[in-house]
Amino acid sequence: MKPSSIVLILACLSAAPALAQQVYSWTDANGTKHFSDTPPPPNTASAKKLMVHNGVTSTAAEPAAEEAKAGPTMAAAAGYSEEDIKRNCATSRKNLQIYEASAPGDEALPETQVQYQMNLNKAREQIKLFCG
């Protein structure tokens, strides 16, 4: 693999978004609802800390020990039925197997290798969401 390929792949991987993000929500004196990644002004009575994880917002803390249940729970909160969650879990696991079996060789174009890594990461994130 060329050194430039390695640099390109590492750059793409480092640009991946964080798994969970903290957001603050509050209503000001004029009744305007605010959302920000910075804390609200002091003495704001209606301030709430929210967690955004895989596109789902909750008031729960960042997943830790309960991470195995958090993914399917978040998927259910996003409107997925239990059958959809099970089906998507199985599909995500199959996709990961297919992607792992079709790894591009060292001679592949950097774009191909980056796309391959992105597909692997996406399948792994879907497994976390639907399988836990």
Q: Where are the domains of the chain?
A: 20-62, 64-132
What does each of the 132 residues of the chain score in pLDDT, given as a tens digit?
555 656 555 555 555 444 567 777 778 878 888 777 777 777 777 777 777 766 666 665 544 445 556 778 888 888 888 898 899 999 999 989 998 898 888 888 888 888 888 888 888 998 988 888
Q: Which long-range contacts (CB under 8 A, 24 or more apart) does 64-67 make?
A: 67/128, 67/132
**Overall pTM surpassing 0.85 (yes/no):** no
Environment class of 121 (CB within 10 Å of its CB; exposed 0-12, middle 13-18, buried 19+) = middle
